[in-house]
């Protein structure tokens, strides 16, 4: 669970999961200063973090040495009917074939992707 508490500056806030806190700000296009992660950035971040962890687990489990795993996620929410979440998995230090194989498997297994693919129901949180 995450809580969000406003700051004095316009549209800035602090998010906390009870252990870690992070600043949040609206992008300039939506009235904020754009100095921190914006609300949609956290959707991208959650998916990217899940893909990164899962990719690392595959490499570790299969003893595949690598130099770096880089995940890029881009959210496109400007269509009134659909939201596109595009990703790219790069594994430095492995062949393109190995990278493609691991990326395809992790795409299928990513828990955040599975959860975001379900029907979403928004409702108030009970006390």
Residue-wise DSSP of the chain? --EEEE-SSTTEEEEE-SS-EEEEE--GGGTS---SB-HHHHHHHHHHHHHHHHHHHHHHHTT---SEEEEEEEEE--SSS--EEEEEEEEETS-HHHHHHHHHHHHHH-HHHHHHHSPP---PPP-
Residue ranges of the chain with pLDDT lower than 70?
none
Please tell me the total count of domains within the chain: 2
Which pLDDT belongs to residue 63? Answer: 98
Which pLDDT belongs to residue 97? Answer: 98
Residue 52 covered by a domain: yes
Domain that holds residue 54: 39-117
CATH of the domain at 78: 3.30.300.20
Which pLDDT belongs to residue 77? Answer: 87
pTM of the model: 0.90
Which pLDDT belongs to residue 127? Answer: 84
Which pLDDT belongs to residue 19? Answer: 98
Residue 16 covered by a domain: yes
Burial of 101 (0-12, 13-18, 19+ CB in 10 A): middle
Which pLDDT belongs to residue 102? Answer: 98
């Amino acid at each position: 669970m995450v809580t969000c508490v406003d700051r004095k500056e316009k549209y800035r806030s602090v998010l906390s999961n009870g252990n870690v806190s992070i600043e949040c700000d609206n992008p300039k296009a939506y009235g904020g200063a754009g100095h921190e992660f914006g609300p949609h950035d956290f959707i991208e971040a959650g998916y990217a973090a899940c893909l990164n962890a899962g990719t690392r687990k595959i490499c570790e489990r299969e003893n595949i040495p690598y130099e770096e795993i880089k995940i890029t996620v881009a959210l496109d929410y400007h269509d009134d009917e659909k939201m596109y979440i595009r990703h790219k998995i790069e594994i430095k230090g492995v062949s393109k074939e190995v990278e493609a194989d691991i990326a395809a498997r992790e795409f299928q297994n990513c828990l955040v992707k599975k959860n975001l693919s379900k029907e979403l129901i928004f409702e108030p949180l009970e006390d």
